[in-house]
A and B are shown apart, each in its own frame.
Chain A
Protein backbone atom coordinates (compact mmCIF):
# COMPACT_ATOMS: atom_id res chain seq x y z
CA UNK A 1 0.00 0.00 0.00
CA UNK A 2 1.45 3.30 -1.06
CA UNK A 3 0.86 7.01 -0.89
CA UNK A 4 -1.73 9.15 -2.66
CA UNK A 5 -0.69 9.49 -6.28
CA UNK A 6 -1.14 13.25 -6.39
CA UNK A 7 -1.48 16.00 -3.81
CA UNK A 8 -4.97 16.74 -2.53
CA UNK A 9 -5.98 19.93 -0.73
CA UNK A 10 -9.04 21.02 1.17
CA UNK A 11 -10.02 24.46 -0.06
CA UNK A 12 -13.25 25.23 1.78
CA UNK A 13 -15.78 23.95 4.30
CA UNK A 14 -19.18 24.65 5.82
CA UNK A 15 -21.23 23.27 8.72
CA UNK A 16 -24.79 23.88 9.90
CA UNK A 17 -25.38 24.33 13.60
CA UNK A 18 -26.17 20.84 14.88
CA UNK A 19 -29.47 20.61 16.74
CA UNK A 20 -31.63 17.96 18.36
CA UNK A 21 -34.35 18.71 15.85
CA UNK A 22 -34.73 21.27 13.04
CA UNK A 23 -37.95 20.32 11.24
CA UNK A 24 -38.00 23.69 9.48
CA UNK A 25 -35.41 22.35 7.02
CA UNK A 26 -35.14 18.97 5.33
CA UNK A 27 -31.80 17.30 4.61
CA UNK A 28 -31.49 18.91 1.17
CA UNK A 29 -31.84 22.43 2.46
CA UNK A 30 -29.53 21.70 5.38
CA UNK A 31 -26.78 20.53 3.01
CA UNK A 32 -27.48 23.53 0.76
CA UNK A 33 -26.82 25.90 3.70
CA UNK A 34 -23.48 24.24 4.51
CA UNK A 35 -22.60 23.99 0.80
CA UNK A 36 -23.33 27.67 0.12
CA UNK A 37 -21.29 28.67 3.15
CA UNK A 38 -18.33 26.70 1.76
CA UNK A 39 -18.84 27.95 -1.81
CA UNK A 40 -19.11 31.58 -0.71
CA UNK A 41 -16.14 31.36 1.62
CA UNK A 42 -13.85 30.46 -1.28
CA UNK A 43 -15.78 32.42 -3.93
CA UNK A 44 -16.57 29.25 -5.85
CA UNK A 45 -19.21 28.75 -8.49
CA UNK A 46 -21.04 25.54 -9.42
CA UNK A 47 -18.92 25.26 -12.57
CA UNK A 48 -15.83 24.91 -10.35
CA UNK A 49 -17.08 21.58 -8.90
CA UNK A 50 -16.31 18.42 -10.91
CA UNK A 51 -18.37 15.99 -8.86
CA UNK A 52 -19.26 14.90 -5.36
CA UNK A 53 -19.45 12.22 -2.69
CA UNK A 54 -22.61 11.90 -0.58
CA UNK A 55 -22.12 10.91 3.06
CA UNK A 56 -25.09 9.60 5.04
CA UNK A 57 -25.52 6.60 7.27
CA UNK A 58 -29.04 5.30 7.63
CA UNK A 59 -31.90 4.98 5.17
CA UNK A 60 -34.22 4.28 8.10
CA UNK A 61 -34.37 7.76 9.61
CA UNK A 62 -35.99 9.28 6.54
CA UNK A 63 -37.29 6.12 4.84
CA UNK A 64 -35.97 7.56 1.62
CA UNK A 65 -33.55 5.66 -0.57
CA UNK A 66 -31.14 7.61 -2.79
CA UNK A 67 -31.24 10.68 -0.57
CA UNK A 68 -27.79 11.40 -1.98
CA UNK A 69 -28.97 12.17 -5.46
CA UNK A 70 -31.78 14.31 -4.04
CA UNK A 71 -29.08 16.49 -2.49
CA UNK A 72 -27.05 16.46 -5.71
CA UNK A 73 -30.21 17.58 -7.52
CA UNK A 74 -31.06 20.28 -4.96
CA UNK A 75 -27.52 21.70 -5.03
CA UNK A 76 -27.62 22.00 -8.82
CA UNK A 77 -24.79 19.49 -9.27
CA UNK A 78 -26.63 17.18 -11.66
CA UNK A 79 -25.59 15.75 -14.15
CA UNK A 80 -22.09 15.63 -12.61
CA UNK A 81 -20.78 12.34 -11.15
CA UNK A 82 -21.59 11.43 -7.56
CA UNK A 83 -21.90 8.39 -5.34
CA UNK A 84 -22.89 7.53 -1.84
CA UNK A 85 -20.43 6.13 0.68
CA UNK A 86 -21.68 4.46 3.87
CA UNK A 87 -19.92 2.88 6.82
CA UNK A 88 -21.86 3.46 10.05
CA UNK A 89 -20.38 6.10 12.36
CA UNK A 90 -17.32 6.39 10.10
CA UNK A 91 -19.45 7.34 7.09
CA UNK A 92 -18.12 10.92 7.17
CA UNK A 93 -14.47 9.87 7.42
CA UNK A 94 -14.86 7.25 4.69
CA UNK A 95 -16.63 9.74 2.43
CA UNK A 96 -13.96 12.38 3.01
CA UNK A 97 -11.34 9.83 2.00
CA UNK A 98 -13.40 8.79 -1.05
CA UNK A 99 -13.35 12.46 -2.09
CA UNK A 100 -9.58 12.55 -1.53
CA UNK A 101 -9.26 9.48 -3.76
CA UNK A 102 -11.35 11.11 -6.51
CA UNK A 103 -8.75 13.91 -6.65
CA UNK A 104 -5.66 11.75 -6.03
CA UNK A 105 -6.63 9.39 -8.84
CA UNK A 106 -6.84 12.31 -11.27
CA UNK A 107 -10.48 11.62 -12.05
CA UNK A 108 -11.66 14.91 -10.58
CA UNK A 109 -9.82 18.19 -10.00
CA UNK A 110 -12.42 19.40 -7.49
CA UNK A 111 -14.84 17.39 -5.39
CA UNK A 112 -17.54 18.40 -2.92
CA UNK A 113 -18.03 15.94 -0.07
CA UNK A 114 -21.36 16.55 1.60
CA UNK A 115 -22.61 14.81 4.72
CA UNK A 116 -25.94 14.88 6.47
CA UNK A 117 -28.26 13.04 8.82
CA UNK A 118 -31.73 13.96 10.02
CA UNK A 119 -32.25 11.82 13.10
CA UNK A 120 -35.20 13.76 14.54
CA UNK A 121 -37.65 11.88 12.30
CA UNK A 122 -37.98 9.27 15.04
CA UNK A 123 -37.83 9.47 18.83
CA UNK A 124 -34.53 8.81 20.61
CA UNK A 125 -35.27 5.20 21.56
CA UNK A 126 -36.40 4.27 18.06
CA UNK A 127 -33.24 6.00 16.83
CA UNK A 128 -31.19 3.81 19.17
CA UNK A 129 -32.93 0.80 17.68
CA UNK A 130 -32.02 1.94 14.14
CA UNK A 131 -28.41 2.48 15.15
CA UNK A 132 -28.32 -0.95 16.79
CA UNK A 133 -29.18 -2.46 13.40
CA UNK A 134 -25.53 -1.65 12.70
CA UNK A 135 -24.67 -4.60 14.95
CA UNK A 136 -25.03 -8.23 13.82
CA UNK A 137 -28.81 -8.63 13.65
CA UNK A 138 -28.62 -12.44 14.08
CA UNK A 139 -26.54 -12.51 17.23
CA UNK A 140 -25.94 -9.10 18.82
CA UNK A 141 -28.98 -6.94 18.12
CA UNK A 142 -31.53 -9.38 19.66
CA UNK A 143 -29.44 -9.69 22.85
CA UNK A 144 -28.53 -6.09 23.47
CA UNK A 145 -30.07 -3.92 20.83
CA UNK A 146 -28.22 -0.91 22.20
CA UNK A 147 -24.89 0.58 21.18
CA UNK A 148 -24.26 2.26 24.53
CA UNK A 149 -24.55 -1.22 26.06
CA UNK A 150 -21.80 -2.53 23.77
CA UNK A 151 -19.55 0.45 24.53
CA UNK A 152 -20.28 0.13 28.24
CA UNK A 153 -18.94 -3.45 28.15
CA UNK A 154 -15.80 -2.25 26.37
CA UNK A 155 -15.43 0.56 28.90
CA UNK A 156 -15.88 -1.82 31.85
CA UNK A 157 -13.16 -4.08 30.48
CA UNK A 158 -10.92 -1.09 29.80
CA UNK A 159 -11.27 0.09 33.41
CA UNK A 160 -10.52 -3.43 34.64
CA UNK A 161 -7.59 -3.98 32.28
CA UNK A 162 -5.79 -0.69 32.95
CA UNK A 163 -7.03 0.39 36.38
CA UNK A 164 -8.69 3.58 35.11
CA UNK A 165 -11.62 5.22 36.91
CA UNK A 166 -15.09 6.41 35.94
CA UNK A 167 -14.07 9.91 37.07
CA UNK A 168 -11.36 9.88 34.40
CA UNK A 169 -13.98 9.01 31.80
CA UNK A 170 -16.04 11.93 33.09
CA UNK A 171 -13.11 14.29 32.55
CA UNK A 172 -13.46 13.80 28.80
CA UNK A 173 -17.08 14.94 29.02
CA UNK A 174 -16.14 17.97 31.14
CA UNK A 175 -13.35 18.96 28.71
CA UNK A 176 -15.37 18.56 25.51
CA UNK A 177 -18.60 20.17 26.71
CA UNK A 178 -16.57 23.05 28.10
CA UNK A 179 -14.62 23.56 24.85
CA UNK A 180 -17.94 23.80 23.00
CA UNK A 181 -18.92 26.89 25.01
CA UNK A 182 -16.98 28.89 22.40
CA UNK A 183 -18.20 26.91 19.38
CA UNK A 184 -21.37 28.46 17.92
CA UNK A 185 -22.01 25.30 15.84
CA UNK A 186 -22.22 23.00 18.88
CA UNK A 187 -25.48 21.39 19.98
CA UNK A 188 -24.80 21.09 23.71
CA UNK A 189 -22.11 23.36 25.12
CA UNK A 190 -22.05 22.98 28.91
CA UNK A 191 -20.01 23.97 31.88
CA UNK A 192 -19.82 20.70 33.82
CA UNK A 193 -18.04 19.12 36.76
CA UNK A 194 -17.01 15.49 37.12
CA UNK A 195 -19.81 15.14 39.68
CA UNK A 196 -22.37 16.47 37.18
CA UNK A 197 -21.33 13.73 34.75
CA UNK A 198 -21.45 10.98 37.37
CA UNK A 199 -24.77 12.23 38.77
CA UNK A 200 -26.54 12.31 35.43
CA UNK A 201 -28.79 9.28 34.75
CA UNK A 202 -26.97 5.97 34.27
CA UNK A 203 -27.51 4.76 30.69
CA UNK A 204 -25.37 1.60 30.71
CA UNK A 205 -22.94 1.12 33.56
CA UNK A 206 -20.36 2.75 33.70
CA UNK A 207 -21.60 5.27 31.10
CA UNK A 208 -23.99 8.03 32.19
CA UNK A 209 -26.06 10.29 29.97
CA UNK A 210 -23.19 12.81 29.87
CA UNK A 211 -20.68 10.13 28.82
CA UNK A 212 -22.69 9.59 25.62
CA UNK A 213 -23.25 11.83 22.57
CA UNK A 214 -26.72 12.89 21.43
CA UNK A 215 -28.63 12.42 18.19
CA UNK A 216 -28.78 15.36 15.86
CA UNK A 217 -29.94 16.99 12.69
CA UNK A 218 -27.05 18.49 10.76
CA UNK A 219 -25.00 18.80 7.59
CA UNK A 220 -21.38 19.55 6.69
CA UNK A 221 -19.47 20.08 3.46
CA UNK A 222 -15.78 19.80 2.55
CA UNK A 223 -14.47 20.92 -0.82
CA UNK A 224 -11.31 19.25 -2.10
CA UNK A 225 -9.04 20.07 -5.04
CA UNK A 226 -5.81 19.06 -6.72
CA UNK A 227 -2.72 21.24 -6.31
CA UNK A 228 -3.24 23.35 -9.42
CA UNK A 229 -6.91 24.11 -8.75
CA UNK A 230 -6.35 24.50 -5.02
CA UNK A 231 -3.95 27.43 -5.44
CA UNK A 232 -5.97 28.86 -8.30
CA UNK A 233 -9.23 28.88 -6.30
CA UNK A 234 -8.06 29.41 -2.72
CA UNK A 235 -5.42 31.60 -1.09
CA UNK A 236 -5.03 29.35 1.97
CA UNK A 237 -5.58 25.68 1.07
CA UNK A 238 -4.68 22.87 3.47
CA UNK A 239 -2.86 19.73 2.32
CA UNK A 240 -4.32 16.27 2.97
CA UNK A 241 -0.99 14.74 3.90
CA UNK A 242 -2.06 11.14 4.42
CA UNK A 243 -5.09 8.91 4.86
CA UNK A 244 -5.56 5.52 6.50
CA UNK A 245 -8.39 3.22 7.42
CA UNK A 246 -8.95 -0.09 9.13
CA UNK A 247 -11.64 -2.60 9.98
CA UNK A 248 -12.50 -5.10 12.66
CA UNK A 249 -14.94 -7.95 13.21
CA UNK A 250 -18.60 -7.02 13.23
CA UNK A 251 -19.23 -8.90 16.45
CA UNK A 252 -17.39 -7.71 19.51
CA UNK A 253 -17.30 -11.38 20.57
CA UNK A 254 -15.03 -12.30 17.66
CA UNK A 255 -12.18 -9.89 18.47
CA UNK A 256 -8.92 -11.78 18.86
CA UNK A 257 -6.44 -11.64 21.75
CA UNK A 258 -3.15 -11.15 19.95
CA UNK A 259 -0.29 -8.69 19.73
CA UNK A 260 -0.37 -4.90 19.42
CA UNK A 261 0.51 -3.68 15.90
CA UNK A 262 3.29 -1.27 16.82
CA UNK A 263 3.71 2.33 15.68
CA UNK A 264 7.26 3.52 14.85
CA UNK A 265 7.82 5.00 18.33
CA UNK A 266 6.72 1.88 20.22
CA UNK A 267 8.55 -1.32 21.21
CA UNK A 268 7.27 -4.86 21.60
CA UNK A 269 8.42 -4.79 25.23
CA UNK A 270 5.92 -1.97 25.90
CA UNK A 271 3.12 -4.51 25.72
CA UNK A 272 4.52 -7.77 27.02
CA UNK A 273 1.40 -8.97 28.79
CA UNK A 274 -1.30 -7.19 26.83
CA UNK A 275 -3.73 -9.34 24.87
CA UNK A 276 -4.87 -7.20 21.98
CA UNK A 277 -7.31 -5.84 20.99
CA UNK A 278 -9.74 -7.93 23.04
CA UNK A 279 -12.66 -5.66 23.74
CA UNK A 280 -10.65 -2.88 25.40
CA UNK A 281 -9.02 -1.37 22.30
CA UNK A 282 -9.80 -0.62 18.67
CA UNK A 283 -7.55 -2.50 16.28
CA UNK A 284 -9.18 -0.75 13.31
CA UNK A 285 -8.19 2.61 14.82
CA UNK A 286 -4.60 1.49 15.26
CA UNK A 287 -4.51 0.12 11.69
CA UNK A 288 -5.90 3.38 10.31
CA UNK A 289 -3.41 5.45 12.30
CA UNK A 290 -0.46 3.32 11.20
CA UNK A 291 -1.35 3.75 7.52
CA UNK A 292 -2.03 7.48 7.81
CA UNK A 293 1.22 8.08 9.73
CA UNK A 294 3.22 6.07 7.21
CA UNK A 295 1.80 8.16 4.35
CA UNK A 296 2.25 11.43 6.19
CA UNK A 297 5.76 10.56 7.36
CA UNK A 298 4.82 10.80 11.05
CA UNK A 299 6.99 8.78 13.42
CA UNK A 300 6.10 10.33 16.76
CA UNK A 301 2.47 11.47 16.68
CA UNK A 302 2.46 13.27 20.04
CA UNK A 303 5.29 15.56 18.88
CA UNK A 304 4.16 15.95 15.28
CA UNK A 305 0.42 16.57 15.58
CA UNK A 306 -0.91 19.88 16.88
CA UNK A 307 -4.67 19.33 16.92
CA UNK A 308 -6.96 16.27 16.91
CA UNK A 309 -10.67 15.95 16.22
CA UNK A 310 -11.63 12.39 17.12
CA UNK A 311 -14.81 10.34 17.34
CA UNK A 312 -15.82 10.69 21.01
CA UNK A 313 -19.29 9.14 20.73
CA UNK A 314 -18.51 7.94 24.26
CA UNK A 315 -16.04 9.35 26.79
CA UNK A 316 -14.47 5.91 27.02
CA UNK A 317 -13.85 5.75 23.27
CA UNK A 318 -11.98 9.06 23.33
CA UNK A 319 -9.60 7.61 25.92
CA UNK A 320 -9.25 4.34 24.01
CA UNK A 321 -8.56 6.31 20.84
CA UNK A 322 -5.66 8.34 22.32
CA UNK A 323 -3.94 4.98 22.62
CA UNK A 324 -4.92 3.66 19.19
CA UNK A 325 -3.51 6.88 17.72
CA UNK A 326 -0.28 6.45 19.69
CA UNK A 327 -0.65 9.79 21.52
CA UNK A 328 0.21 7.69 24.57
CA UNK A 329 0.81 4.00 25.20
CA UNK A 330 -2.02 1.50 25.68
CA UNK A 331 -3.17 1.80 29.25
CA UNK A 332 -2.12 5.44 29.64
CA UNK A 333 -5.15 7.06 27.99
CA UNK A 334 -7.04 7.82 31.19
CA UNK A 335 -4.02 9.60 32.68
CA UNK A 336 -3.53 11.42 29.40
CA UNK A 337 -6.84 13.21 29.91
CA UNK A 338 -6.61 13.60 33.68
CA UNK A 339 -3.15 15.17 33.38
CA UNK A 340 -4.65 17.75 31.01
CA UNK A 341 -2.62 16.68 27.98
CA UNK A 342 -5.72 16.71 25.73
CA UNK A 343 -6.91 20.13 27.00
CA UNK A 344 -7.17 23.19 24.80
CA UNK A 345 -3.84 24.36 26.23
CA UNK A 346 -2.46 20.86 26.71
CA UNK A 347 0.22 18.89 24.87
CA UNK A 348 -2.12 18.14 21.94
CA UNK A 349 -5.62 19.62 22.08
CA UNK A 350 -8.16 16.86 21.42
CA UNK A 351 -11.65 17.86 20.30
CA UNK A 352 -11.22 21.61 20.78
CA UNK A 353 -14.57 21.94 18.97
CA UNK A 354 -16.32 19.93 21.68
CA UNK A 355 -16.30 16.71 19.67
CA UNK A 356 -19.36 14.55 19.18
CA UNK A 357 -20.19 14.74 22.88
CA UNK A 358 -20.89 18.46 22.69
CA UNK A 359 -21.31 19.22 18.97
CA UNK A 360 -23.77 16.38 18.37
CA UNK A 361 -23.53 13.44 16.01
CA UNK A 362 -25.67 13.66 12.83
CA UNK A 363 -23.81 10.57 11.64
CA UNK A 364 -23.12 11.27 7.96
CA UNK A 365 -22.17 14.87 8.71
CA UNK A 366 -19.94 14.17 11.70
CA UNK A 367 -16.73 13.13 9.95
CA UNK A 368 -17.06 16.02 7.51
CA UNK A 369 -17.63 18.43 10.41
CA UNK A 370 -14.33 17.22 11.90
CA UNK A 371 -12.59 17.90 8.58
CA UNK A 372 -14.04 21.42 8.46
CA UNK A 373 -12.99 22.22 12.04
CA UNK A 374 -9.45 20.90 11.50
CA UNK A 375 -9.29 22.79 8.19
CA UNK A 376 -10.27 26.05 9.91
CA UNK A 377 -7.74 25.38 12.69
CA UNK A 378 -4.94 24.90 10.13
CA UNK A 379 -6.08 27.92 8.12
CA UNK A 380 -6.03 29.79 11.44
CA UNK A 381 -9.48 31.07 10.53
CA UNK A 382 -11.45 29.92 13.61
CA UNK A 383 -12.13 33.53 14.60
CA UNK A 384 -13.70 34.28 11.25
CA UNK A 385 -16.00 31.23 11.39
CA UNK A 386 -16.75 30.99 15.12
CA UNK A 387 -16.94 34.72 15.79
CA UNK A 388 -14.27 34.36 18.48
CA UNK A 389 -10.77 32.89 18.64
CA UNK A 390 -10.94 31.15 22.03
CA UNK A 391 -10.62 27.73 20.37
CA UNK A 392 -7.93 28.68 17.84
CA UNK A 393 -4.83 26.60 18.51
CA UNK A 394 -1.83 28.86 18.16
CA UNK A 395 0.01 28.26 14.91
CA UNK A 396 -0.92 24.61 14.31
CA UNK A 397 1.01 22.85 11.57
CA UNK A 398 -0.66 19.43 11.46
CA UNK A 399 -4.13 18.17 12.34
CA UNK A 400 -5.62 14.70 12.65
CA UNK A 401 -9.22 13.67 12.10
CA UNK A 402 -10.54 10.31 13.22
CA UNK A 403 -13.90 8.79 12.30
CA UNK A 404 -15.17 5.57 13.86
CA UNK A 405 -18.01 3.12 13.23
CA UNK A 406 -19.76 0.27 14.98
CA UNK A 407 -17.89 -1.18 17.92
CA UNK A 408 -14.70 -0.03 16.18
CA UNK A 409 -15.61 -1.79 12.97
CA UNK A 410 -14.57 0.81 10.39
CA UNK A 411 -12.14 3.53 11.45
CA UNK A 412 -10.49 6.25 9.38
CA UNK A 413 -7.61 8.58 10.20
CA UNK A 414 -6.69 11.51 7.96
CA UNK A 415 -3.81 13.92 8.44
CA UNK A 416 -4.01 17.51 7.21
CA UNK A 417 -1.16 20.00 7.04
CA UNK A 418 -1.02 23.79 6.83
CA UNK A 419 0.96 24.99 3.84
CA UNK A 420 0.80 28.73 4.45
Chain B
Protein backbone atom coordinates (compact mmCIF):
# COMPACT_ATOMS: atom_id res chain seq x y z
CA UNK B 1 0.00 0.00 0.00
CA UNK B 2 1.23 3.40 -0.92
CA UNK B 3 -0.27 6.49 0.60
CA UNK B 4 -0.40 9.48 -1.75
CA UNK B 5 -0.21 12.62 0.37
CA UNK B 6 -0.79 14.79 -2.69
CA UNK B 7 -3.91 12.96 -3.93
CA UNK B 8 -6.15 15.22 -6.00
CA UNK B 9 -9.72 14.69 -7.21
CA UNK B 10 -9.89 15.06 -11.02
CA UNK B 11 -11.60 18.30 -12.04
CA UNK B 12 -14.77 18.22 -14.18
CA UNK B 13 -15.71 20.79 -16.76
CA UNK B 14 -19.46 20.10 -16.71
CA UNK B 15 -21.38 23.29 -16.28
CA UNK B 16 -23.85 23.73 -13.42
CA UNK B 17 -26.65 25.97 -14.57
CA UNK B 18 -27.21 28.68 -11.98
CA UNK B 19 -30.53 30.53 -11.82
CA UNK B 20 -29.79 32.72 -8.84
CA UNK B 21 -26.93 33.31 -6.43
CA UNK B 22 -28.75 34.49 -3.30
CA UNK B 23 -30.20 32.10 -2.40
CA UNK B 24 -28.14 29.83 -4.62
CA UNK B 25 -30.51 28.10 -7.04
CA UNK B 26 -29.12 25.58 -9.54
CA UNK B 27 -30.58 23.24 -12.15
CA UNK B 28 -30.86 19.60 -11.07
CA UNK B 29 -31.66 17.06 -13.81
CA UNK B 30 -33.46 13.72 -13.40
CA UNK B 31 -34.83 11.14 -15.83
CA UNK B 32 -35.59 7.45 -15.72
CA UNK B 33 -36.86 4.58 -17.91
CA UNK B 34 -39.18 2.19 -16.13
CA UNK B 35 -39.69 -1.48 -16.93
CA UNK B 36 -43.44 -1.26 -16.65
CA UNK B 37 -45.70 -4.33 -16.70
CA UNK B 38 -49.43 -4.06 -17.40
CA UNK B 39 -49.65 -7.41 -15.61
CA UNK B 40 -53.27 -8.61 -15.29
CA UNK B 41 -54.50 -5.71 -17.42
CA UNK B 42 -52.32 -6.66 -20.43
CA UNK B 43 -55.22 -8.08 -22.48
CA UNK B 44 -56.87 -4.64 -22.65
CA UNK B 45 -53.89 -3.22 -24.52
CA UNK B 46 -53.44 -6.26 -26.79
CA UNK B 47 -57.15 -6.31 -27.71
CA UNK B 48 -56.97 -2.75 -29.04
CA UNK B 49 -54.78 -4.15 -31.84
CA UNK B 50 -57.78 -6.29 -32.82
CA UNK B 51 -60.01 -3.19 -32.66
CA UNK B 52 -61.72 -4.43 -29.55
CA UNK B 53 -62.43 -2.47 -26.40
CA UNK B 54 -62.38 -4.83 -23.44
CA UNK B 55 -64.05 -4.25 -20.09
CA UNK B 56 -64.67 -6.66 -17.23
CA UNK B 57 -67.69 -8.59 -16.04
CA UNK B 58 -68.00 -10.15 -12.60
CA UNK B 59 -68.40 -13.93 -12.80
CA UNK B 60 -70.44 -13.95 -9.59
CA UNK B 61 -72.61 -10.82 -9.46
CA UNK B 62 -72.47 -9.89 -13.18
CA UNK B 63 -71.55 -6.24 -12.47
CA UNK B 64 -69.99 -4.87 -15.66
CA UNK B 65 -67.07 -2.48 -15.85
CA UNK B 66 -66.07 -0.37 -18.85
CA UNK B 67 -62.50 -0.64 -17.53
CA UNK B 68 -60.17 -3.58 -16.94
CA UNK B 69 -60.34 -4.80 -13.37
CA UNK B 70 -59.65 -8.41 -12.60
CA UNK B 71 -61.62 -8.53 -9.37
CA UNK B 72 -65.06 -7.07 -8.68
CA UNK B 73 -65.31 -4.10 -6.29
CA UNK B 74 -68.91 -5.03 -5.47
CA UNK B 75 -68.37 -8.62 -4.30
CA UNK B 76 -64.65 -9.37 -4.52
CA UNK B 77 -65.05 -12.22 -7.02
CA UNK B 78 -62.97 -12.69 -10.15
CA UNK B 79 -64.11 -11.00 -13.33
CA UNK B 80 -63.81 -12.09 -16.93
CA UNK B 81 -62.99 -10.06 -20.02
CA UNK B 82 -66.04 -8.60 -21.66
CA UNK B 83 -66.19 -6.88 -25.04
CA UNK B 84 -67.71 -3.43 -24.82
CA UNK B 85 -70.05 -2.02 -27.45
CA UNK B 86 -68.27 0.09 -30.05
CA UNK B 87 -70.68 2.97 -29.56
CA UNK B 88 -71.67 4.85 -26.48
CA UNK B 89 -72.79 8.28 -25.30
CA UNK B 90 -70.97 11.17 -23.64
CA UNK B 91 -71.65 11.12 -19.91
CA UNK B 92 -69.52 14.21 -19.36
CA UNK B 93 -66.70 16.10 -21.06
CA UNK B 94 -64.19 18.92 -20.95
CA UNK B 95 -61.75 20.68 -23.21
CA UNK B 96 -58.29 21.18 -21.67
CA UNK B 97 -56.43 24.33 -22.70
CA UNK B 98 -53.58 23.59 -20.31
CA UNK B 99 -52.22 20.32 -18.97
CA UNK B 100 -49.33 18.52 -17.39
CA UNK B 101 -46.04 19.35 -19.11
CA UNK B 102 -46.04 16.09 -21.13
CA UNK B 103 -49.41 17.02 -22.66
CA UNK B 104 -49.02 20.78 -23.17
CA UNK B 105 -48.15 20.36 -26.84
CA UNK B 106 -51.43 18.50 -27.40
CA UNK B 107 -53.65 21.26 -26.01
CA UNK B 108 -56.43 22.02 -26.56
CA UNK B 109 -57.76 18.48 -26.30
CA UNK B 110 -61.13 17.02 -25.32
CA UNK B 111 -61.64 14.50 -22.54
CA UNK B 112 -64.85 12.51 -22.32
CA UNK B 113 -66.34 9.93 -20.00
CA UNK B 114 -68.28 7.49 -22.15
CA UNK B 115 -71.31 5.52 -20.99
CA UNK B 116 -72.28 2.29 -22.79
CA UNK B 117 -75.75 0.76 -22.90
CA UNK B 118 -75.98 -2.04 -20.34
CA UNK B 119 -72.57 -1.35 -18.78
CA UNK B 120 -72.47 -0.27 -15.14
CA UNK B 121 -69.41 2.02 -15.22
CA UNK B 122 -67.78 4.58 -17.52
CA UNK B 123 -64.69 4.83 -19.72
CA UNK B 124 -62.41 7.87 -19.95
CA UNK B 125 -60.95 8.76 -23.33
CA UNK B 126 -60.07 11.52 -25.78
CA UNK B 127 -62.67 12.82 -28.23
CA UNK B 128 -61.60 14.23 -31.58
CA UNK B 129 -63.59 15.57 -34.52
CA UNK B 130 -65.57 18.03 -32.39
CA UNK B 131 -64.83 21.31 -30.65
CA UNK B 132 -66.05 22.47 -27.25
CA UNK B 133 -69.17 24.20 -28.60
CA UNK B 134 -70.19 21.03 -30.51
CA UNK B 135 -69.85 18.63 -27.59
CA UNK B 136 -72.96 17.81 -25.59
CA UNK B 137 -73.76 15.39 -22.79
CA UNK B 138 -75.72 12.48 -24.31
CA UNK B 139 -74.02 12.83 -27.71
CA UNK B 140 -73.43 9.53 -29.50
CA UNK B 141 -69.77 8.60 -29.99
CA UNK B 142 -67.88 5.60 -31.31
CA UNK B 143 -64.50 4.09 -30.54
CA UNK B 144 -61.70 4.26 -33.12
CA UNK B 145 -58.39 2.50 -32.84
CA UNK B 146 -54.90 3.53 -33.85
CA UNK B 147 -53.12 1.30 -36.36
CA UNK B 148 -49.66 1.78 -34.91
CA UNK B 149 -50.10 0.83 -31.29
CA UNK B 150 -48.22 2.58 -28.52
CA UNK B 151 -49.72 0.24 -25.92
CA UNK B 152 -51.24 3.20 -24.15
CA UNK B 153 -54.93 3.83 -23.38
CA UNK B 154 -54.73 6.55 -26.05
CA UNK B 155 -54.57 3.76 -28.67
CA UNK B 156 -58.35 4.02 -28.50
CA UNK B 157 -60.20 7.33 -28.91
CA UNK B 158 -63.70 8.45 -29.72
CA UNK B 159 -65.34 10.43 -32.51
CA UNK B 160 -68.91 11.74 -32.82
CA UNK B 161 -71.51 9.57 -34.58
CA UNK B 162 -73.99 11.29 -36.86
CA UNK B 163 -77.53 10.77 -35.57
CA UNK B 164 -80.31 11.00 -38.15
Contact = CB atoms under 8 A, between A and B. Distances in A.
Contacts of B123: 253
Contact of A251 (B38, B67, B96): B67
Interface string B124-160: 1110000010000100000000000000111000000
A23 interface: yes
Interface in A41-69: 63
Interface string A219-261: 0000000000000000000000000000001011111110000
Nearest to B68: A139
A156 interface: yes
A201 interface: yes
Contacts of B38: 138
B101 A204 contact: no
A205 interface: yes
A149 B96 contact: yes
Interface stretch (A140-148, A173-181, A322-330, A342-350): A140-148
Nearest to B150: A142
A28 to B, nearest CB: 14
A204 B95 contact: yes
Given A143-B153, A145-B102, A253 B97 contact: no
Contacts of A253: 66-67, 113, 121-124
A144 B97 contact: no
B30 A24 contact: no
Contact of B65 (A125, A129, A254): A254
B122 A252 contact: yes
Contacts of B120: 256-257
B51 to A, nearest CB: 18
Chain A CB count within 10 A is highest, among B65, B91, B123, for B91
A304 to B, nearest CB: 34
A152 B96 contact: yes
Interface in A70-88: none
Contact of A138 (B73, B95, B153): B153
A182 interface: no
B64 to A, nearest CB: 11
A129 B153 contact: no
B91 to A, nearest CB: 7
Nearest to A130: B100
Contacts of A338: none
A251 B124 CA distance: 9
A192 B39 CA distance: 50
Interface in A96-145: 123, 125-126, 128-129, 131-132, 138-140, 142-145
A4 interface: no
Contacts of A249: 73
Interface in B55-70: 65-69
B25 A152 contact: no
B97 A203 contact: yes
B153 A201 contact: no
Contacts of A144: 96, 99, 103, 111, 124
A202 interface: yes
A186 B82 CA distance: 51
A393 interface: no
A154 interface: yes
B6 interface: no
17 contacts: A63-B28, A128-B99, A128-B101, A129-B100, A129-B101, A138-B41, A138-B153, A143-B154, A145-B99, A146-B96, A148-B96, A150-B111, A203-B98, A204-B97, A252-B122, A255-B122, A279-B122
Interface of B: 20, 23, 25, 28, 30, 38, 41, 65-69, 73-74, 91-104, 111-113, 120-126, 132, 137, 152-154
| Interchain residue pairs A-B with the least CB separation, the first 3 | A129-B100, A152-B94, A157-B92
Given A149-B99, A153-B94, A160-B92, 7 more contacts: A23-B23, A128-B99, A153-B113, A205-B97, A251-B67, A253-B67, A253-B124
